[in-house]
Every structure is written in C-alpha cells, then in structure tokens.
Chain A
Amino acid sequence: MTSRAADFLKDRIDFSPVQAWVAQRKIPQHKHSFWYYFGGLALFVLTIQIITGIMLAFYYSPTPVKANESVRYIMEKVHYGWLIRSIHFWGANFLIAVVLVHMFSTYFTKAYRKPREIMWVLGVIILALILTSAFTGYLLPWTTLSYFATKIGTSMPLYVPFVGHFISRLMVGGADVGAATLTRMFTLHTIVLPILWLTIIAIHVFLSQVLGLSTPLSQRSTRDETKLFPNFMMRQAAVWSGALAVLISFVALFPEGLAAKVNPVLPAPAGIKPEWYFLFVFQTLRTFPDVIGLGGITLGAIIWMLVPFLDRKASNGEKSTFFTLFGVAIIVYLVTMTVMAYITTEVH
C-alpha cells in the first residue's frame, strides 16, 4: 500500500532534486556534536505543544465564568483530558528548558559568529516569543496564581517610558485584569504568537540548512562528518524517543492539578511565586528598585541579542574569553536569583 502510494507520487512529482540534496547533507562530527540535537529536540517538543494545544482548544472557554470550569471539565470528564493537559503543561516546561540549553550551547561554542549572526538574533527572538507564549497561556486556567502572575506581567510595561501605559492597557484590555485580558491572552496564545514563532522558526531552520551547522573554534581541525540521512536523523530520533519517555514520566508521576478559580477581589495569597522560568525576574523585582531591575534585564537581553556583532574575536576565528565569561556571569545571575527566590521567605 505504502509502496503503491509512493509510486503514485513518483509518477507525478520529480523528487530527485530533494533526494540529491538530502543525500549530500553532512553534519560535523566532534566531541561537542551532542549539542546539535537540542535544536531538533526543541522542534519536537514544540510539535507536541501544538498538537496538545489544539486538542485543549476544542474544550476550553476563554471567559472568567467558564475558563476554570472548562479546564476542570477537560481534566475530570474528557477522555484522557488530564493526560493531554499535563503533557501540554510539562511540555511547556520542557520546551523552555530545551531552548535554554540550545541557546547556551550555541553561545559557548560561539556558533553565533559570522556568518550565523542572524540565526542567533532570530533564536533569541524565538526564546522571547516562547516565554511570552508561556506567560499568555498561564492565565488561561483562571486560578489565583495565574491571575496575579498576569497582573504583575501586565504591570511591568508601566515602567517603560512614554509608551508604557499604552502597552499595559493594550495587554489588559481594561482598567484591571479581567474578561478582556483573558480573551486577549487566549488570542495571543493560540493565534498571534504561534504565527509569529512558526514564521521565525521556519527562517531559523532554513538558515541552518543554507549555512550548515557551526563547528566550534576548538574543533576546527576535526574534519569528521556524518550523513544527515540516515545517520544523524536516526540518532535524533533516539533523542526524541528518550525525551518523550522523560516527558511522559513527568506527566505520569507529577500530573498537573488545577487550583481553584480566582476571586479577583480577594488579596494575593501569602508565598505567591511564579513558575521557575520567571523566578529570576520575580527576585530581581524584590531585590532592586524597579527601574534598575527591569532596565537591567532589558539592557542585558539587548546586549545578549547583539553579542555576535560585539564579539569580533569570535568572528575572526579567535578565542574570546571575555564573552565566555559574560555568558558565565549571565548563568550565575539567573541561577542565583532563581535559587534565592526558591529559598527566600518574606518575613513581615
């Protein structure tokens, strides 16, 4: 049957240019090749997120009255609803973790150097869009934590000079987080952001194929290569299988529950904290004055995005210790702030 379908297509479409291109594709082989699998792994987890997200959208209602109830309905009534929602929840966490590993491995192997500067910039934008997707999706269950997380997130732009109030109002859709915010976050989460990141990811992947994968400066003497098909893709498939096993294990061992519906009038509960990927922002806001904290994070993100243009040594094929230390400093800051947020309990 498969063979007949293949013959049917071959009779009508000439696949030989594609087959020739695939046959000549090679992937560099060296002691850091392991990091190449994280880009494909991110795409794999993203695909899981798209599929499970579409499935959840069949039952979800983006209104304050029905949002929490519809998620509860998915989890308690819909067949395997708890499983699909848990996969979507843990998938979001996995996706952010995998994209972070992909980004830092790219950074420390200096894969951003010429001619791949645009790929790096697009990659940083993709991370920002994925974090925004996580933020917009967080409100959808309409729980106390998701409500106050959104209040904080939509208040942050208020510190942006001139346009801050306009941006905040655009996000909230009214005087305070409410029905308008929920529909806006749902529209952003399910339509606007996916269109944006799918477009940018397509360009990112296209460039990776046109430019090929970067070999780290320390490994340039290595000339070993392996074929993309089937060698590399077989190993990539093994990585996907392993990741899927880990993801499903998390889903089975720690299924995501559903907190009670928020009462928007009541105060924020004690000990409220965001998800792990936003803890560094949370702790920064508690530690530094807002203008310094938010300004510092924004400036750091801009510098991070522009690193390929600042690191001239790497572009010239030389070691750039300063930028390696800059990367280490960023990781130390993120980890320190995250750990502090976990262990610090406010004493009143």
Chain B
Amino acid sequence: MIAAYIVYPVLRFFTPPAVALGEVDKVFVTTLDKMGLNTAKFFKFLDKPAVLVHLPDGKYTSLSAKCTHMGCTVAFQSKDDNFICECHGSIFNIDGKVLKGPATRPLPVYYVDIEGNKIYVTVKKQLA
C-alpha cells in the first residue's frame, strides 16, 4: 500500500499531460496559389505530421502522415496517388486505406476548410 502511494505519483509525474484538442484543432497550412495539381504539403498538426494533397481532379484532401504501423512519416507518390511508408513498406491509398501491409489500420483523414485563398485543416468534421 505504501509502495503504491509512492509509485502512483512517480508514474503520473513521468506521464506527460494530454494536449487540449480544443486549443489546436484548426491549423493554417498554405494558400491555394502555392498548391500545384497533384502535389502534397507536409505540416505539423496536433503535434504529429500531416499531409495536404491537391488531387488531380482539383479537390483537396488531408490526412495524418503518421504511419499506423510504427509511426514513421509516409511519403506521397504522385504517380500512383498513394502514400508509402519507407520504414517497413506499407502503402495507403489517397483515402488513407491500407493497400499493402504491414500496417493494418488506415491513416486518419482530416477536414479541409478553404477560406478565400487560405487552406485550413481541422479535425472538427473528420471524414474517417
């Protein structure tokens, strides 16, 4: 019992406080004129890597760029319109779904919000 009194606060001390999502749930990424067709821009969102892609059909999509397998940052392959993780070879399609393992879970998708010329990414209206 005494040990628990010591161990609990020690473990809590080493566990970092969670980030309050309400404070950082929307981020400015870039402007429309800086995103060519079929290009990607990587940025930090919620303290993790994320990616914004300007699709060939003119639409925009944004996903977490953190591979769901072991956490490496995925790369965008414009020729195949998919994402590859160079650490262990997982491939995800443009919607974040797994095309090739070892990853088994999809990349979380974010909501793209365009205000005038500015592109924002937010978690408020997650697509997946």
Give the number of residues in A that approach B within 8 Å (Cβ atoms).
Answer: 32
A174 interface residue per 8 A CB criterion? yes
Q: A178-B47, A265-B42 are in contact. Are A285 and B15 (CB under 8 A)?
A: no
Interface with A: B55-63, B66-74, B115-123, which one? B66-74
Contact (A166, B15) CB under 8 Å given A176-B71, A266-B42, A286-B102: yes
Whether B15 lies near A170 (C-beta < 8 A) is yes
Instruction: Report the minimum CB–CB distance from A298 to chain B (whole Å).
Output: 16
Assuming the A-B contacts A268-B85, A269-B86, are A151 and B102 also in contact, with contact meaning beta carbons closer than 8 angstroms in the complex?
A: no
Complex contact A175–B87 (CB within 8 A)? no
Q: Does B27 contact A (CB under 8 A)?
A: no
A175 engages B48 (CB within 8 Å)? yes
Whole-angstrom CA separation of A155 from B70 in the bound complex? 5
Best-buried of A148, A175, A268, A270 by chain B (most CB within 10 Å):
A268
A contact residues around B47 at 8 Å (CB): 174-176, 178
Q: How far is the CA of A176 from the CA of B74 in the complex (A)?
A: 14
**Residues from chain B with Cβ under 8 Å of A176 in the complex:** 47-49, 66, 71
Is residue A271 contacting chain B, with contact meaning CB distance below 8 A?
A: yes
> Do B73 and A267 touch (CB < 8 A)?
yes
Whether the Cβ atoms of B46 and A266 lie closer than 8 Å is no
Query: Once bound together, how far apart are the Cα atoms of A247 and B45, in whole Å?
Result: 45
Please determine whether B75 and A268 come into contact, CB atoms closer than 8 angstroms.
yes
Separation of A344 and B71 alpha carbons in the complex (Å): 21
Closest to A169 in B: B15
1/0 contact string of A144-168 vs chain B (CB within 8 Å): 0000100110111000000000100
Given contacts A152-B72, A176-B71, A265-B73, contact A272 B87 (CB under 8 A): yes
* CB under 8 Å from chain B, chain A span 74-90: none
Q: Quick check: is B88 within 8 A (CB to CB) of the other chain?
A: yes
Given contacts A166-B15, A267-B65, contact A151 B72 (CB under 8 A): yes
What residue of chain B has the Cβ atom nearest to residue A175's Cβ? B47
Whether the Cβ atoms of B43 and A265 lie closer than 8 Å is: yes
Name the residue in B44, B47, B73, B85 with the highest tally of chain A Cβ atoms < 10 Å from its Cβ: B73
Measured CA separation A272–B48 after assembly (Å): 20
A175 and B19 contact, CB distance less than 8 A: yes
What sequence of 0s and 1s flags, for each residue 68-108 of chain B, a beta carbon within 8 Å of any chain A beta carbon? 01111111110000001111110100000000011000000
Q: A interface vs B, CB < 8 Å?
A: 148, 151-152, 154-156, 166, 169-170, 173-178, 180, 264-272, 282, 285-286, 289-290, 346, 348
8 smallest A-B Cβ distances: which pairs?
A267-B75, A175-B47, A155-B71, A151-B71, A268-B72, A155-B70, A152-B70, A268-B86
